[in-house]
Amino acid sequence: MGSDHHASTSPSNQTNQSTRTLFITTLLLVTCNAVSAAALRNPYIKARAHGPVKKKLDRPVVILVSSDGFRFGYQFKTPTPNIHRLINQGTEAETGLIPVFPTYTFPNHYSIVTGLYPASHGIINNRFVEPRTGDQFSPARHEPKWWLGEPLWETVANQGLKAAAYFWAGSEVRKGSWDCPKGYCMKYNSSVPFEERVDTVLSYFDLPSDEIPAFAALYFEDPDSHGHVVGPDDVAITKAVARIDSMIGRLIDGLEKRGVFEDVTVILLGDHGMVGTCEDKVIFLDDLAPWVEIPADWVHSYFPLLAIWPPAGHNLTEIVQRMNQGLDSGKVEKGKSLRVYLKEELPARLHYAASDRIPPIIGMVDEGFTVAQRRTEGARYCGGAHGYDNEYFSMRSIFIGHGPRFARGRKVPSFENVQIYNVITSILNIKGAPNNGSKSFPQSILLPAQ
């Protein structure tokens, strides 16, 4: 999604606001202390203050939190006490969550909520062209024709339950019984402070129990938005990670205050990792001209996914052969770090062929490499990127599950994010749509239902 710019509050405003927050917090603390001290002395007061003791939640609830570009390992960059509380008291993919290929934001977020590979859910890149109509997809397109498959909020709504999404790829698309209801489905705006997002999700737990969403998605743009600019090892990333940790703390605190933290399932994950792209790791397509010309208007994306769509009538096999001849010749700078395929000949584990939206020629670059058309100023891009082969460890993100169905302190092996759809429908005890996760996966990481 877009980069976030939410530093617009003026300093004086901030001071006023924090003074007010401090005042309210103090008031709350005083009130809570008074109530609990009284309750300790006399158990009937508790019953009187809160009504008869009643289980707060009538059914399982899952909050799915995504921190964009949270590379596996970032949780060790800086103290992350809240994330570690979830890890220590929950179940963690010990060596991270494996994204789908291409390891971009939109394809991955939509795989997480549909359980489908991009070729099946249709969001094959952050931007692409529909070949029959020439219509262009971008993250702002919300017509259902782009978004195939059945995302979790639709599955939940189809079964008569409430769902909510505070920003998620595809959540504003009306499909099935999901009509992106007011108050439960937010229009994307990267300026909305993270605190407001968390507090809105928390406020659902103040509603009557049949209005509490069974499933709520919550999205943060960071640390991805910093990672692209500075690469994975900058101090800005450390700060972004600390900020995400504090948002997790805010969520946990809010759930605890409402007495539901142990009953609600919180899943914290990310869509992909990040790798540095500096050090001159760039391949120029114009360097291939002695073998084959690749005009810029054939190129749908340069890196990390090189996607080429020549006009009808060109011999695709021949283009691929000539490109690879040039790259292997030893005469093209860094040529050995790019390999070009007809999409049908990509390694099958990438599942990146079975959609007519996927351009016919796909290039795979080595980790951290970039591709540009020609040697011009600025063609060498120094920062961070993702989109590479999902086999690279640097592309992995995190998976942590905390709640009644996740064992405490358990570590499980890494798995692909298409498994998550079935995990969530299992926890919610609802019937899911057909997808690419395995039916038996949920029982391998979940405790049996009570």
- Closest separation between CB of residue 322 and ligand NAG, Å? 8
Residue 9 binds ligand NAG, judged by CB under 6 A: no
CA nearest to 402, candidates 255, 182, 196: 255
- Closest separation between CB of residue 105 and ligand NAG, Å? 20
Looking at the Cβ atoms of 117 and 146, the one nearer to ligand NAG is: 117
CA nearest to 61, candidates 186, 209, 187: 209
CB within 8 Å of 84: residues ≥ 6 apart: 75
CA nearest to 282, candidates 372, 352, 342: 372
Looking at the Cβ atoms of 109 and 405, the one nearer to ligand NAG is: 109
Yes or no: say if 39 and 50 are a contact pair by the CB < 8 Å rule.
no
Q: For ligand NAG, which residue of 206, 318, 333, 344 counts as binding (CB under 6 A)?
A: 318
Stretch that binds ligand NAG, among 224-232, 256-264, 310-318, 424-432 (CB under 6 A): 310-318
- Between 75 and 114, how does the x/- string for binding to ligand NAG read (CB under 6 A)? ----------------------------------------
Residue 435 binds ligand NAG, judged by CB under 6 A: yes
Residue 117 binds ligand NAG, judged by CB under 6 A: yes
- Closest separation between CB of residue 178 and ligand NAG, Å? 19
CB within 8 Å of 246: residues ≥ 6 apart: 82
The continuous run of DSSP H or E covering 308 comes out as strand 305-308
Residue 429 tokens read as: 């005890």
Residue 267 tokens read as: 């899943």
Q: Is 263 exposed, middle or buried (0-12, 13-18, 19+ CB in 10 A)?
A: middle
Looking at the Cβ atoms of 200 and 321, the one nearer to ligand NAG is: 321
| Length, in residues, of the chain | 450
Residue 279 binds ligand NAG, judged by CB under 6 A: no
**Locate tokens 């500075």: which residue?**
230
Q: How far is Cα 402 from Cα 56, in angstroms, rounded to an integer?
A: 18
Looking at the Cβ atoms of 272 and 351, the one nearer to ligand NAG is: 351
Residue 167 binds ligand NAG, judged by CB under 6 A: no
Stretch that binds ligand NAG, among 65-73, 265-273, 276-284, 434-442 (CB under 6 A): 434-442
Q: Which amino acid is at 241?
A: V
CB within 8 Å of 106: residues ≥ 6 apart: 123, 125, 126, 139, 169
Stretch that binds ligand NAG, among 46-54, 207-215, 264-272, 311-319 (CB under 6 A): 311-319
| # of chain residues touching ligand NAG (CB under 6 A) | 14
CA 97-102-105 angle, to 5 degrees, is 70
The continuous run of DSSP H or E covering 298 comes out as none
Q: For ligand NAG, which residue of 17, 19, 136, 317 counts as binding (CB under 6 A)?
A: 317
Residue 135 binds ligand NAG, judged by CB under 6 A: no
Looking at the Cβ atoms of 84 and 243, the one nearer to ligand NAG is: 243
Q: Which residues contribute to the site for ligand NAG (CB under 6 A)?
A: 116-117, 120, 189, 191-192, 315, 317-318, 321, 351, 434-436
